Amino acid sequence: MIRSRAMRKWLIRACMLLAITVGGPGRFAALRAGESEGESAAEGADSVVFPLREISILDSSLDQSLLRDLTGGARGECREEPYEAIKAYPKLLSQKPIYGLVRLAPDPYQRESGTPLYFVVDESGEKPVEEEPAKEEPEEESSILDTLSSALFGKKAEKPVVEKLPKLKNTYDRLYVDLNGDLDLTNDPVVTPMKKTPTTLVRRYSGLRQAVVFKEISVPLDFGEKLGNQPVRLVPRLEIQEHEGKEYPGVGFISAVARKGSIKVGKRSYQAVLAQRYTITGRYDRTSTGLLLTSPGKPGWQDHWWGADELSAMRLVDGEYYTTSTTPLGEKLIVKPHRGDLGILRIGPGGRDLDDLSIQGSLRTEDAGLAVGESKPGRSGSLEPVTECRLPVGDYIPVYVTVKFGDLQLGISENYHRDGKQMALDRESWVHGIKIRKDKPFVWDFSTPPEVMFASPAKDQTCKPGDEITVNAVLIDPKLTIMIRRLTDTSRKEDKTVELGDGRTTTYKQPVSLDPTVTITNAAGKQIAEGPMPFG
Amino acid sequence: MPKDIELAGDEETFTITVRYDTKELYGKVEATRTFVVTSK
C-alpha cells in the first residue's frame, strides 16, 4: 500500500465505459444501384440503396427508448470566464454566467478542430417554471443495470429501491449563441427554454440540479462545394449537476433530426437510424456519424462492439462483410458487399506452452471498424471469442479487444498517449500494425518486447512542493502502437465490491488484476512512497 | 507533492519506478522516470 497519504494522489485510477442503446422494427424498401439517379448509380451493381426519411427527436410518437439514445448531444466546454475571442457579450444578469464553446463538424482525432460555436447562458431572474411531477416510466425489457449485472455477475439485477429525485430548480433561462459566427453575441437572438421540457431529453438522477432544454436553433455549416452552407438544426440543453457540494454545468447540442429507414444487409432486414449523436458532423457522410441497426422484433442494437454504432463499421452478416455509406444530406443509405480478398488473424502462443488462446472485440482500419469474434444468433449482439477469424485484407489497429492468453486475460486498445503527454490522440503516429494479407495469416503472439511509456510526468518535469503530479504509465507494444489496458490472472480470484448507484453495494469474485507497483525514491535513493497503479 | 517535503538543496531529482509482473505474457517489466522538485 502507499505509505504517504500525500503521495497516494500521484497514483493513477481506472476507468470504465459502457454504452447501451435500443431501437425498433420497420418495413423495407430498396433500389438497386443503377435504378436510382446520381450517387447511387456510381456505387456499382452490388450496391443496394435504401431511402431514409427525416425524423424529429421531438416527435413523441417515435419509440421513446430510441429517442433517448439519440439525444446524447455534442458536449460544449463550459467555464466561468468569457472567451477572449469574443468581441462582445450581451449585458448579463447572472452572477455566474456560463460561458461556453462547442465545436461542430470536428476532426475526431484533432483537438480544437471544427467550426467553433460560442455561447453564454444567463439567468433572467424570473421565477422558474414549476416542475411537473415525473410520470412513472414503464419497465423496459432490459435495463442498463440488467446488462451490467449480467456482464459482471451472470444474472439479472434485482430491481433497486426507487430513489425520490429532488425537484429541479431551473434558474438559467437565457441562451445567447453566436449563430452568425461574427464573434459578437450582442447581435444574436436570445434563445429561451421550451415551454414544456420533452421527457426524452432529460435523464434524471440524484445529482441533477438543473436541466433546461432550449428552443431549437439553426446553424449554417459548410456541406462542401456542391451544397454550400446548409442549416443544421440543434436543440441546446443545459444540465447542472452537483457533486460533493460543487456544481458542474454542461451544455449539450443535440441534433434535432435524424434519418430512419428499413434496410437489408444481405438477406437480413434491419431498422436503420442515421444520427449525429455525440458529434455534430453536419454532413451525414462522415465516419463518426452514428448508424444504429436493430432487427425487427428485437429490442436493442444488433451488435455490441466498439464502432458497431458508426456508419463506417464493416458488418459481417451471414459470413459476408458489408460496408455502409450515405450522402451528405443522409437521404439514402447505400449497402455494399465487400468483394475484396480476405486473410486470417490468429492468436498464437509465440513459443510459450499455452493452449487457451482467443480474441474478441473490435479493430479498425484507417476508414472502417469491424468486429473480431463470432456472432451467435439469438445472443443479443455479443461476440464469442475465437482463436482465429477471417478479415478483409488491410492494416488494422485495435479499438478494444480482449485476448485470452492461457490463464491471462488482456484488454488492449490503441495507445492514444505519447511520452509525456496524456490523451495525445495523435493519429499520425498510430501504426496499423496488424497486417492482414491474403496468403499468410497474421499471428499475434506478443513476441515483440514491451516497453513502458510514461504519459505523465514528462521526463524531468519540474514541480514545487504542494503541486500534484500524476503518474500515468502504460505497458505498450511499440511495434503495434497498442497498450495493455487490463491484465488479469484468471486462475486466481479476488473479491470486488461495487456501488449499484442507489446506495447499495455488492461484492463478487473476479480474476486477480496484475496491477503494477509504483515506488518513488529521492535523490539519495530513499523510498518515500509506494503503491499499486491500477490498470485503466 | 507534500507541501512540507524537505529537499536536498534548492532542487532535488526524484525517480518513479514502475514494475509489472506480466507472468507468461512478457515476464517482469520495469521502467523509471525522473522528475524534479524545486523549492522556488
Domain borders along chain A are 31-57+257-337, 74-134+163-255, 341-532
Name the band, by pLDDT with cuts 50, 70 and 90, for residue A301.
low
Tens of pLDDT, residues A135-158: 544 444 444 445 445 544 445 555
Test A487 with B2 for CB contact under 8 angstroms. Answer: no
Name the band, by pLDDT with cuts 50, 70 and 90, for residue A27.
very low
- Average pLDDT in the A489-505 region? 85
Q: DSSP alpha helices (H): ranges in A388-473?
A: none
Q: How far is it, in rounded angstroms, from Cα A373 to Cα A375?
A: 6
- Name which of A464, A480, A519, A533 to mutate to probe chain B: the one with the most chain B Cβ atoms within 10 A of its Cβ: A464
Candidates A451, A460, A469; nearest CB to B1: A469
CB contacts, 8 Å: A7 with chain B = 2
pLDDT surpassing 70 at residue A311 = yes
In the numeric block, the cell 443545459 is attached to A238
Test B8 with A516 for CB contact under 8 angstroms. Answer: no
- Identify the CA nearest to A339 among candidates A48, A36, A47: A47
pLDDT surpassing 60 at residue A455 = yes
The ipTM value here is 0.96
Test A457 with B16 for CB contact under 8 angstroms. Answer: yes
CB A269 within 8 A of CB A262: yes
Q: How far is it, in rounded angstroms, from Cα B26 to Cα A162?
A: 48
pLDDT surpassing 80 at residue A133 = no
User: Model pTM greater than 0.90?
Assistant: no
Q: B28 in contact with A at a CB cutoff of 8 Å?
A: no
C-alpha dihedral (A48, A49, A50, A52), degrees to nearest 10: 150
Search chain B and give the residue with CA nearest A486. B22
- Measured in angstroms, the CA of B9 and the nearest CA of chain A are apart by 11
pLDDT surpassing 70 at residue A161 = no
Test A450 with B7 for CB contact under 8 angstroms. Answer: no
Q: Is the dihedral of CA A505, A511, A514, A519 positive or negative?
A: positive
H or E segment at A144?
helix A144-153
Tens of pLDDT, residues A329-359: 999 999 999 999 999 999 999 999 999 999 9
Cβ partners under 8 Å of residue A101, min gap 6: A76, A77, A83, A116, A117, A118, A119
Search chain B and give the residue with CA nearest A473. B18
Test B31 with A451 for CB contact under 8 angstroms. Answer: yes
Search chain A and give the residue with CA nearest B10. A464
Q: What are phi and psi of A329, to 5 degrees?
A: -90, -5
Which value, in Å, is the radius of gyration of the alpha carbons in chain B? 15
Coarse DSSP helix, strand, coil percentages of chain B, rounded to the nearest 5 percent? 0, 55, 45
Which cell is A25 given? 422494427
